[in-house]
Structure 1
């Protein structure tokens, strides 16, 4: 049976709105700046003003209860442009290459893409950095209820939950930055026969994605399947016999892919084209009501991070170990933002009380690491002195992590500010006043690769 692609062109109305906004914001001419190669080239054939290339990156910030998204240059905090998307964004996420912001509009079944304008190309014998004006891409994904976005450094998997009320099945699209740039319609799509609140992880030619029994009373899946890409679709390779009841949350690193379950963590190890599944059971630190519902990973980090409510766990999947991390959260603190930072050397947690906790990551298996905990408390930064009970309804602090330096960014809807935090010095180094109440944000730019550690 013919399956329609997820990509649709922008409607005439959306194009007119975007065109009108660009006219109001100034010149939309694209000027491309090419940076001197960073490796493998003596530069004799290049004459570029590489000081014009932003090494700090850019932020895309959406406005509360609005369809406007704005792009800021973080070198100087200047507003580069604003764009009108079809509907109020429910989430923002970065594409695999961190060039594009995925503007997720869950309730209206749409994902639009904002080109941040900073990107890198592999010229075989060297890498080139480029800079151009931000733009609203014509590439659009349209399928029911886009929800979970996961990315490696080369692929992005978008899981569409589908809708039980309309009997619309779930789907997974696996795209690259090149697909977005070329407005491609040849990316592979996995089509299900039922809806689910699922998750997917892309692994080169494969995608590991969830499976739900259509007769289940819950929308959560309980199994994981392995699928192989064939042109614009996927073939099922196998369904893992290890079950994962109440599956929610997924992550991966260089060696394993993991999914959160009510009774532990499902771990799938890859060796070439061979995938094997095992289970790490919940430890004695779990109460009957706790479960891992969120997982975080990074390619060169030996540990995954799992969250069960406000409890953080270090998960060494290859060793089958799970340990509670003392992140020294304050009373009543809930974790609302998180991630590896500073090229994988640190882990940061944003809580709903207005604090940023910084942990040093010692989990790499090098000499002396065995005597240290995987994650060690380093500092806690107070981001606001305001009464957090005055937070606007439906708002919260939001976190974006730079992939090029040791900075993270936090928006504060209470006073409509954007904070720049230096996590090496554990201090707020800049505060920018915004002229709107911020909602979501994401960092875009040219990432500095994390250092690989000997294992």
Structure 2
């Protein structure tokens, strides 16, 4: 696999021509120089730096990426890419958006323009205009992007037809901003629909037997960085058949298996594995295939179809949650929110379900308790455009989440603390993907015991 970092080649004239050919959608391409907010000396007045962040959106049918300023949701800039993005992710420190064009084997990056630096005696905030970065990744089928504190692990599936093996790249925001080529990489022995989690100098990645009849891996290995490479240190003996889905928190990495959840615990430089078997709630082919975690949360959430499970890695327990799905039969968005005080589920009927998260603080009480439902959309679901669905972006700076409604072409702001819709913005395109960028609030450690 090759990783290239060429400069941007899409000119404004080309962008205008492409947009002119895209029906009646009107998008303004604003080419502007970055505006740096200077703070001489140790000025602690950061009022000029946006504290609530910015949103990045894509369209269902156009190869552009739009940046909106919060809270007003005013357009800051729109950039062209070579193909309609298949997904969007935030970098490890939320400064950059990874713009995934999976079938083109390409990932571009856009600087959201908000970041923070440690000046020893204080943390200093900075603000610039968004910009298209020269840094990019080229690898075969970029698929799973896993954010960790200060890092982003990108898993490339490879390609069975061409024989291209799977691979992993681990990036910091500095790697992206400085257009580096010496970030660490791992090339695996065969293709796979796998996953990887970065933990400082370590990497926990999936392994697949070359003779397997499925593209899903069944084992996990530990690697340690040496220069620009990862060297294998350990293959965990515990099997994880048909592995799909992974997440991490402060102490554990979790992987979804067809027969349960594989848990990798880190204690300093030592990693140990254990298996948490499926409970009696699992019948037939039901299995956890999606996981969510947060550095400030002791529990994971596992999704098995439309069923939701709380996973206590420390005590090796799994509990089914009643989230009152109603007519919903699919979960389209999920994640910890409001500093891990909440967990949210966005379903395919346009409902946002909010849980309060308690951790281990209250003996005898479930870690997650149902709080509220917010009817984000009551549009006719039969009018969903092909390939579209409601999408969710969670702020790391406050208690807001942002939801796109592709039927009504709306962007909705929800306050999860108050469980109410704060505003709606009409878009002039059909939204597809969304992510939040900005300066995250420091992790609240009140869940740690």
Give TM class, smaller chain. over 0.9
Matched, 1:175 2:171: yes
1:3-30 deviation line (CA, Å, top 9, x unaligned): x642331464578746999x96345111
Q: Is 1:412 the equivalent of 2:370?
A: no
- 1:241 pairs with one of 237, 242, 262: 237
Of residues 87, 90, 101 in structure 2, which corresponds to 1:91? Answer: 87
The structure 1 residue matched to 2:385, chosen from 386, 392, 401, is 392
Deviations 1:385-439 (A, max 9, x none): 2111111111000000011111100000001010000111111110000010000
Name the TM-score, length of structure 2 as normaliser. Answer: 0.95
Contact 1:59 1:442 in 2 (8 A): yes
- 2:33 aligns with 29
The answer to whether residue 109 in structure 2 is matched with residue 109 in structure 1 is no
1:8-19, aligned counterparts within 5 Å? 8-10=5-7, 12-13=9-10, 17=14
Q: Which residue of 1 aligns with 2:333?
A: 337
Instruction: Report if aligned partners of 2:339, 2:398 keep a CA contact under 8 Å in 1.
Output: yes
Aligned counterpart, 1:253 = 249
CA distance in 1, matches of 2:313, 2:51: 34
The two structures, once aligned, show a CA RMSD in angstroms of 1.9
1:107-135 CA deviation, whole Å, 9 max, x = no partner?
Answer: 11011101100000111221100000000
How far did residue 229 of structure 1 move?
0.7
Say if 2:427 is the partner of 1:434.
yes
1:7 corresponds to which residue?
A: 4
How much has 1:371 moved relative to structure 2? 2.4
Report SS of the residue matched to 1:284.
Answer: coil
Query: Which of 326-335 and 246-255 deviates more?
Result: 326-335
Deviation at 1:449, TM superposition (A): 1.7
CA deviation after TM superposition for structure 1 residue 359, in Å: 0.5
Deviations 1:135-168 (A, max 9, x none): 0111000000000000112111000000001111
* Structure 2 CA distance for partners of 1:447 and 1:20, relative to 1, 3 Å: farther
Taking a change above 3 Å as real, the CA distance of residues 229 and 55 of structure 1, as seen in their structure-2 partners, is same
**TM-score, normalised on structure 1?**
0.93
2:301 corresponds to: 305
State whether residues 34 and 48 of structure 1, in contact with CA within 8 Å, keep that contact through their aligned partners in structure 2. Answer: no
Counterparts in 2 of 1:281 and 1:47: CA distance versus 1, 3 Å: closer
CA distance in 1, matches of 2:238, 2:314: 16
Deviations 1:232-273 (A, max 9, x none): 111111111101000000011111111000000001111111
Q: Give unpaired runs (5+ residues) of structure 2.
A: 19-26
Match of 2:287 among 291, 294, 305: 291
CA shift digits 1:17-69 (9 cap, x unpaired): 46999x96345111111469xxxxxxxx3457633211111000001121101
User: For 2:300 and 2:104, how far apart are their aligned partners in 1?
Assistant: 33
Alignment of 1:438-449 (within 5 A): 438-449=431-442
